[in-house]
Chains A and B, each alone.
Chain A
Amino acid sequence: MRTGLNRGLAEMLKGGVIMDVVNAEQALIAEAAGAVAVMALERVPADIRKQGGVARMSDPELIIAIKEAVSIPVMAKVRIGHFVEAQILEALRIDFIDESEVLTPADDQYHIDKHRFTIPFVCGARNLGEALRRIGEGAAMVRTKGEAGTGNVVEAVRHMRAVQSEMRRVMLAPDEELMTIAKELGAPFPLVQEVKKLGALPVVNFAAGGIATPADAALMMQLGCDGVFVGSGIFKSADPARRAAAIVQATTHFKDAERLAHISRGLGEAMPGLEIAGLTATYAQRGH
């Protein structure tokens, strides 16, 4: 029963923008800009990347303050495999947990058994096999991993295209080829069958990791995502409130180039971007 309800909440977020916030003040800016949910975390990915060290679940006090400040759904991140952080977030009665590669993994082999929880989970994926493994573990929503904190959309595009091209392969394959495809993808066989039957993933798939401009958000939407997460892209830019509202607009009007041109004007400096090849740590490699 929770599966339907939890996937259902993700359906309600479609076409929307989920924004990273580190305090109640930022959460209010996000809500006023039209975010469909906020992601509470201690440091945005760009700062985690710069400062290094172990990144963990946020202090519950911060999460409670954010929950009290806004009426939209509140999400928060736990480390991959850290099921006790997840138990704590569930006890805080937030709305969604992101088992996230942006935090330092607590388990280098296994993800959380998300079926044991009542609360919904979202997880990152670089390809269809990874997405279906997370759904098999109980994720109610998936997102591209992208490369968080870089302001560089290239990895999110790569991950989205990988999922789409592997889905096309599944959908065109005759039934007798599905088991071999499942083996090659490392994906649960029943979920591969379901993708073929539905012609789509069984859960909502958002873009995340490197989205910094309205054009980036619209690009991901045109590539077939259901909505976008924006991490550092908003509060590391020159004018967060304006940029946040512009990205919300661009995610709704993603096919309307004239409107996108209007929306993109005069937003001030975007967050500084990073070249993927120059990174010392790639978060997308965490968890598999």
Chain B
Amino acid sequence: MRVGVLALQGAVREHLRAVKRLGHTGVEVRLPEQLEGLDAIILPGGESTAMRRLLDKVGLLLPLKEFVLSKLTLGTCAGAILLAKRIEPSLEAPVLGVLDVTIERNAYGSQLDSFTCRGDVAGLPDFPLVFIRAPRFAALGPNVSVLASCNGQIVGVRAGHTWALSFHPELTEDLRLHEMFLRPE
């Protein structure tokens, strides 16, 4: 598969490494034309406010929205915020607005509140969960299913071909989740 990683800013390298280790082709996406021929895209962790500005500036917002509406998409942390239809605090407009969830930015506090734990993700046991200034899925629409929970909070969701996680699988050596995401159905 040809897998794009949105490369405006953030943990781009880590996702590309995971994609390549699994035998797929990784492509950095900074401009609209780089979406051509991709089978899937990963929206990485980083700062969602910075990515929002950068998407606007190069005319990537609409082509990317069109792409994620029909193709396999994974958003991690900031990437999940880009996908959400509703962002809290509510003064923020959605960015791509394709995933029927309400997501709360920096839901746990500052970097001092960042944490790790382990849990089941989409049936994968004992997956390492890394939360860095993480957002929280506050509410899910009817067609959104839960992929993972941690301490009673929803930390991973899926609606059809769109996956969103509030943690960072790309910061671990565990490739199982990337493998499952990119497995042909």
Chain A positions near chain B (C-beta within 8 angstroms): 1, 4-6, 8-9, 11-16, 31-37, 71-74, 90, 93-96, 118-120, 245, 248-249, 251-253, 256, 259
Minimal Cβ-Cβ distance residue in A for B13? A14
CB distance from A238 to the nearest CB of B (A): 21
Contact of A245 (CB < 8 Å), options: B53, B77, B168? B53
Q: Do A93 and B53 touch across chains, with their CB atoms under 8 A apart?
A: no
Q: Does B140 contact A (CB under 8 A)?
A: no
A11-B14 in contact (CB<8A): yes
Chain B contacts to A: CB under 8 angstroms: 7-14, 30, 45-47, 49-50, 52-54, 57-58, 77-78, 105-106, 109-112, 114-116, 130, 132-133, 168, 171
A253 and B9 CA atoms in complex are apart in Å by 10
The residue that B133 contacts in the complex, of A33, A73, A256, with Cβ under 8 A, is: A73
State the majority secondary structure of interface residues on B.
loop
In the complex, how many residue pairs between chain A and chain B have their CB atoms under 8 Å apart?
111
Known: A36-B9, A71-B105. A8 touches B54 (CB 8 A): no
Given contacts A8-B114, A9-B133, A252-B9, 4 further A-B contacts (CB under 8 A): A12-B133, A14-B13, A35-B50, A73-B133
Residue of B nearest to A37 (CB): B47
Q: Of B11, B14, B30, B115, which one neighbours A5 at CB under 8 angstroms?
A: B115
Q: A8-B168, A72-B50, A252-B8 are in contact. Are A93 and B130 (CB under 8 A)?
A: no
Q: Does A33 lie within 8 Å of B10, measured CB to CB?
A: no
* With A12-B45, A12-B77, A94-B110: A5-B116 Cβ-Cβ less than 8 Å: yes
The reply to whether B30 and A253 contact each other, CB–CB distance below 8 Å, is yes
A120 to B132, CA, bound (A): 12
Q: Which residue of B lies closest to A259 (CB)?
A: B58
Kindly provide the distance from the CB of A241 to the nearest chain B CB, expressed in whole angstroms.
Answer: 12
How far apart sit A9 and B9, CA to CA, in the bound complex (Å)? 13
Asked if A72 and B78 make an inter-chain contact with CB atoms under 8 angstroms apart, the answer reads no
**Residue in B closest to A263 when the chains form the complex, CB atoms:** B57
Q: Report B-chain residues with C-beta under 8 Å of the C-beta of A12.
A: 10-11, 45-47, 77-78, 132-133
